Amino acid sequence: MELVCPAGNLPSLKAAVDNGADAVYVGFKDDTNARHFAGLNFTGRTFEKAVRYAQDKGRKVFVAINTFPQPNGFERWKSAVDQAADYGVNALILADMGVMDYARERWPDLRLHLSVQASVTSAEGIRFYHENFGIKRVVLPRVLSVRQVAHTITESPVPVEVFGFGSLCVMVEGRCLLSSYATGRSPNTYGACSPASHVRWEETGDGTDTRLNGVLIDHYGPGEKAGYPTLCKGRFQVGDNTFYALEEPTSLNTLSILPELKKIGVSAIKVEGRQRSPAYVAQVTSVMRAAIDQCMQDPDGYQPEDQWMRKLADVSEGSQTTLGAYHRPWQ
Amino acid sequence: MLDTMKLSIGPIQYFWDRQRVLDFYQRVADSAVDIVYLGEVICSKRRLITAEDWVSIGTELRQSGKEVILSTLTLLEAASETAALKKLCKNESFMVEANDISAVQLLSTRGKSFVTGPSFNIYNGRSLKLLAAKGLKRWVLPVELGLETLRDLQAQRPEGVETEVFALGRLPLAYSARCYTARSHNLPKDDCQFKCIDYPDGRILETREDQEFLILNGTQTQSALTHQALTQLPELAALGVDVLRISPQRSGTLRIIDIFDSARNNQDSETLYEELLELLPHGVCNGYLVEQAGMDNGVQQAT
């Protein structure tokens, strides 16, 4: 199982490589990728350095170009594809079929992976992208149970990558418009969910309100730690209850099911978090490296170590983790 | 030019009891609607209407002169869902609305024409062209795209492909493995007790300051506000839009069809808009059409 880690800048990329990532995925500094945040991502010379640093150490670099261009911006996505190809990256991670069509035509030898943002959850869907664009790998959305992932792998024409750790999208990726409903900007159109430009933290008489474009996402009492107002992780009222109606602030953590993922034939484990710090990347990469190594050597005797779990909880949203949809009762 | 636009009724998003569904389509048969999309698009556990029932409802609607399309499940997870999808895509009676790429694959490899639904991602002309070569006959503009983008897409639209716009209804915003209606009753999906049948318009989610924000509809999340394009009909017609979609709600849908029908026949739009507002349960929005946040009420009344 290949370990694929995130990097939003050069120090993060080095942290990923130095701590044992087999591949690092990155994006360019614009809306062509789904982590379009201020101060993040790569341009020209740094990008070249990043590719060289990883490849010199025998690691791969994947470039995420995984948002959906509209006609007036399509050229930008073509440039992103060309730039990645020019620098000799190992694969592109694409979501939009128009971009795939361009990449396939212009760079027929370039390896393409299907991004989670393509929102493909069945082997039939994977076959469409395999037959039409020759994709070599698919990243599955975080909506399938382990059994459903296993079934998809047996039917899929290409190897399957799944998410192993990081912030959890609870909606199927690539078809979630909650953010653009509230702010006008979605992962698909803009490359960001619940964008910082629309976030407001307000001290009130009795604590803190967090708002997204004016909409109250959560209220925290005095002494309660306020979290970032990601739309699907706020507290809302349904009926007589006020609760995390969609999902709690929590991160996905698959350490406890790594042997199962290996057994069903998962080819690569992805860590979420290009927007996170180099320290996060170092911490998560080293834990996942150790866990995967142990799982590969002795899947039957594998047990996640307490210190791994602690280290991952430290960098998780709300300091808690979940198996998400992999675990049926979560659904 | 307004009157050349066709009206469609989208698939019922909610879980209605059998009789409500049958009554609804009986009334749709006598309405001004031109196209009817049928089928369960949200949750495969909702089986009060079977695949065979949909075909017989469709057959009757066709006899009333309606064009009938069968719609597919939007988010596929279980192998049994793919099996049902394969069966649906093999049907010889009706064209199919693909709500996910799996359906496109199954239909195009069998040489069948198809429609793509509102949650199917077509954001650029290159995608449109590619799908047209695969058999795309009509596409629904993704709901988060506005009229500016629509203008560009219409300019690149391949010959023989019709454009449909989601013109009235609570917006389909997201799909999940988790059932939020069940969760709101503290139940897991596998023991959901079909709670969603108690919410024929979905269950309202409010912010902690009582703003009506979202609708929980099983595994789907919708906008609480109803998106409306009634005020934009002249622009949509000028852009060459072929079909306007109305998404069913618990009550008033037939009256809404009448309002859109009157509007396309050039009746006074201001009065019609006032009438429409009274039929919508949680207020109105249309920000997406004017490249704003979807919940904004971008243009209230065309001048």
Residue-wise pLDDT for B211-231, tens only, equals 999 999 999 999 999 999 999
Cα–Cα distance measured from residue A254 to residue A256, given in angstroms and rounded to the nearest whole number: 5
B chain contacts of residue A140, beta-carbon cutoff 8 Å: none
Residue A57: inside a domain, yes or no?
yes
In 3-state terms, chain B is what percent helix, strand and coil (to 5)?
Answer: 40, 20, 40
CATH topology assigned to domain B2-170+227-280: TIM Barrel (3.20.20)
Contact A235 B208 (CB under 8 A): yes
Smallest Cβ distance to B205: which of A176, A182, A236? Answer: A236
Torsion of CA A227, A231, A233, A238, to 10 degrees: 120
Strand pairing report for B243-246 and B203-206: unpaired
A chain contacts of residue B135, beta-carbon cutoff 8 Å: none
A198 and A294: one domain? no
Question: Which pTM was predicted?
Answer: 0.97
Residue-number span of the structural domain to which A205 is assigned: 178-243
A85 and A153: one domain? yes
Nearest CA to A118 out of A180, A161, A181, A87 is that of A161
Which parts of chain B register pLDDT below 70? 299-303
Q: Where are the domains of chain B?
A: 2-170+227-280
A218 and A283: one domain? no
B chain contacts of residue A124, beta-carbon cutoff 8 Å: 82, 85-86, 101-103, 105-106
Smallest Cβ distance to A177: which of B173, B183, B292? Answer: B173
| Closest approach of B131 to chain A, Cα-based (Å) | 9
Contact B180 A71 (CB under 8 A): no
Cα–Cα distance measured from residue A162 to residue A129, given in angstroms and rounded to the nearest whole number: 17
A chain contacts of residue B199, beta-carbon cutoff 8 Å: none
| Closest approach of B277 to chain A, Cα-based (Å) | 20
Residue A66: inside a domain, yes or no?
yes
Cα–Cα distance measured from residue A116 to residue A192, given in angstroms and rounded to the nearest whole number: 15
| Closest approach of B191 to chain A, Cα-based (Å) | 9
In the structure, how many helices (H) and strands (E) does chain A have? 11, 15
Smallest Cβ distance to B206: which of A124, A236, A329? Answer: A236
Angle at alpha carbon of residue B118, lines to B113 and B120, rounded to 5° = 65
Residue A155: inside a domain, yes or no?
yes
CA distances from A77 to A72, A103, B66 (A): 11, 10, 41
ipTM associated with this complex: 0.96
Q: Which chain B residues in 118-177 lie under 8 Å from chain A, judged by CB atoms?
A: 119, 121, 123-127, 130-131, 142-145, 148-149, 152-153, 155-156, 171-177
A chain contacts of residue B210, beta-carbon cutoff 8 Å: 237
- Over residues B99-136, the pLDDT tens digits come to 999 999 999 999 999 999 999 999 999 999 999 999 99
Smallest Cβ distance to B177: which of A175, A242, A325? Answer: A325
- Residue A308 token pair: 């791994």
B262 contact A CB<8A: no
| Closest approach of B155 to chain A, Cα-based (Å) | 10
Residue A173: inside a domain, yes or no?
no
C-alpha A47: how far from its chain's center? 20
pLDDT at A245 (0 to 100): 97
Smallest Cβ distance to A71: which of B144, B153, B205? Answer: B153
A205 and A307: one domain? no
B chain contacts of residue A129, beta-carbon cutoff 8 Å: 101
B195 contact A CB<8A: no
Chain B contact probe: residue of A106, A117, A175, A326 with most B CBs at under 10 A: A175
A276 and A138: one domain? yes
Cα–Cα distance measured from residue A251 to residue A64, given in angstroms and rounded to the nearest whole number: 21
Element (H, E) at B51: helix B51-63
Question: Any residues with CB less than 8 A from the CB of A64 and at least 6 apart, and which?
Answer: A25, A26, A27, A33, A34, A35, A92, A93, A115, A274
> Chunked in runs of 10, what are the mean pLDDT values of chain A (331 residues)?
98 98 98 94 95 98 98 98 98 98 98 98 98 98 97 98 96 98 96 96 95 98 92 97 96 96 98 97 98 96 96 89 94 94
B chain contacts of residue A232, beta-carbon cutoff 8 Å: 174
A154 and A185: one domain? no
A chain contacts of residue B216, beta-carbon cutoff 8 Å: 238, 245
Q: Which chain B residues in 76-95 lie under 8 Å from chain A, judged by CB atoms?
A: 76-79, 81-82, 85-86
pLDDT at B303 (0 to 100): 39
Contact B203 A129 (CB under 8 A): no
A120 and A268: one domain? yes
Cα–Cα distance measured from residue A11 to residue B10, given in angstroms and rounded to the nearest whole number: 50
Contact B288 A180 (CB under 8 A): yes
Contact B75 A172 (CB under 8 A): yes
| Closest approach of B77 to chain A, Cα-based (Å) | 6
Contact B293 A182 (CB under 8 A): yes
Q: How many domains is chain A partitioned into structurally? A: 2
Torsion of CA B52, B57, B62, B64, to 10 degrees: 160
A239 and A254: one domain? no
pLDDT at B299 (0 to 100): 65
Residue A96: inside a domain, yes or no?
yes
Contact B149 A118 (CB under 8 A): no
**Crossing angle for the helix pair A44-56 and A10-18, to the nearest 10 degrees:** 10
- Domain of residue A93, CATH code: 3.20.20.70
| Closest approach of B78 to chain A, Cα-based (Å) | 6
A163 and A203: one domain? no
CB A320 within 8 A of CB A313: yes
Contact B82 A123 (CB under 8 A): yes
Examine the fold and report which residue of A221, A243, A265 is the final residue of a domain before the chain moves on: A243
pLDDT at B300 (0 to 100): 56
A129 and A34: one domain? yes
Chain B contact probe: residue of A116, A122, A250 with most B CBs at under 10 A: A122
Smallest Cβ distance to B179: which of A175, A234, A331? Answer: A331
Amino acid present at A243: F
The DSSP annotation for B105-118 comes to HHHHTTT--EEE-T
Examine the fold and report which residue of A222, A243, A264 is the final residue of a domain before the chain moves on: A243
CB A273 within 8 A of CB A7: no
A273 and A142: one domain? yes
| Closest approach of B303 to chain A, Cα-based (Å) | 24
A209 and A75: one domain? no
